[in-house]
């Protein structure tokens, strides 16, 4: 329980880490991208969410008596689906900057710069983008079956819960990739490490999601999550690889 609680607050600890001297220049680009991300999110979600809810939860029907509960679940699932879609795009663009931020945060925490980190932006672009494309494939291949279940009456409620849990797990994978990638760990190795601290990783993803939903803080969610994931690596995952 304590591990899960500490995992939830890791992104908020990341807020303090990313503001330390020497790190701010690595935060600027991800921060600007996140502002653009949520501006687009507000425009897109505001225009389509109401139609989505009216189609799947009509006001007059046998589900009306539990409409408020289903509305909360569907709203959360819809918001997360949009969040993850925009997050994937923003992280694809910001991947080289996030990798450098993770390396510098680790240096602040341990006093040692990761040996496999690359301070050259041009050299970092190709591996960083390749890693993001791999995560997009992982996300789509797992998300599609869950999305299909939304169209199965009676199962869609469970699918909503499954989508929330999967979303938390994916965010842990998304952001823990940066510090672990700086140590040349392959995606399947990264997931193995996260599975050893599964509940803390899920709590971390829940913390990132919560930050995305808080006005103003949502703009700093990406760099804060990178910094928080780096602390997760240093405190909980790294000792198992050394």
DSSP class per residue in 142-162: HHHHHHHHTTSTTTHHHHHHH
Q: What is the pLDDT of residues 176-212, one digit of tens each?
A: 999 998 888 888 999 999 999 999 999 999 999 899 8
Q: What's the confidence (pLDDT) of residue 106? A: 92
**Residues of the chain below pLDDT 70:** 41-42, 45-86, 116-126, 128, 156, 239-242
Q: How many domains does the chain have?
A: 1
Question: Whole domain around residue 24: which residue ranges?
Answer: 2-241
| C-alpha span between 224 and 19 (Å, rounded) | 9
In sequence order, which ranges of the chain are alpha helices (DSSP H)?
Answer: 2-8, 10-18, 24-56, 67-110, 121-149, 156-181, 187-196, 198-213, 221-232
Q: What is the pLDDT of residues 210-224, one digit of tens each?
A: 998 887 887 888 889
Q: What's the confidence (pLDDT) of residue 149? A: 76
């Amino acid at each position: 329980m304590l591990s899960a609680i500490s995992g939830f607050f890791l992104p908020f600890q990341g807020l303090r880490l990313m503001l330390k001297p020497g790190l701010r220049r690595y935060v600027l680009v991800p921060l600007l991208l996140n502002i653009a991300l949520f501006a687009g999110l507000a425009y897109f979600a505001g225009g389509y969410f109401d139609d989505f809810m009216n189609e799947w939860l009509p006001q007059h029907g046998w589900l009306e008596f539990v409409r408020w509960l289903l509305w909360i679940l569907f709203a959360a699932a819809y918001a997360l689906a949009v969040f993850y879609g925009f997050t994937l795009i923003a992280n694809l663009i910001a991947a080289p900057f996030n990798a450098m931020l993770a390396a510098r945060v680790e240096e602040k925490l341990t006093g040692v710069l990761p040996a496999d980190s690359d301070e050259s932006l041009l050299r970092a672009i190709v591996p960083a983008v390749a890693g993001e494309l791999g995560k997009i494939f992982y996300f789509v291949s797992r998300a599609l079956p869950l999305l299909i279940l939304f169209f199965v009456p009676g199962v869609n409620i469970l699918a909503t819960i499954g989508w929330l849990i999967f979303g938390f797990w994916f965010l842990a994978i998304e952001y823990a990739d940066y510090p672990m990638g700086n140590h040349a760990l392959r995606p399947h190795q990264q997931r193995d490490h996260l599975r050893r601290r599964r509940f803390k990783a899920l709590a971390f993803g829940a913390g990132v999601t919560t930050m995305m939903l808080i006005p103003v803080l949502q703009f700093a969610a990406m760099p804060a999550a990178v910094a928080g994931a780096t602390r997760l690596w240093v405190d909980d995952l790294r000792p198992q690889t050394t």
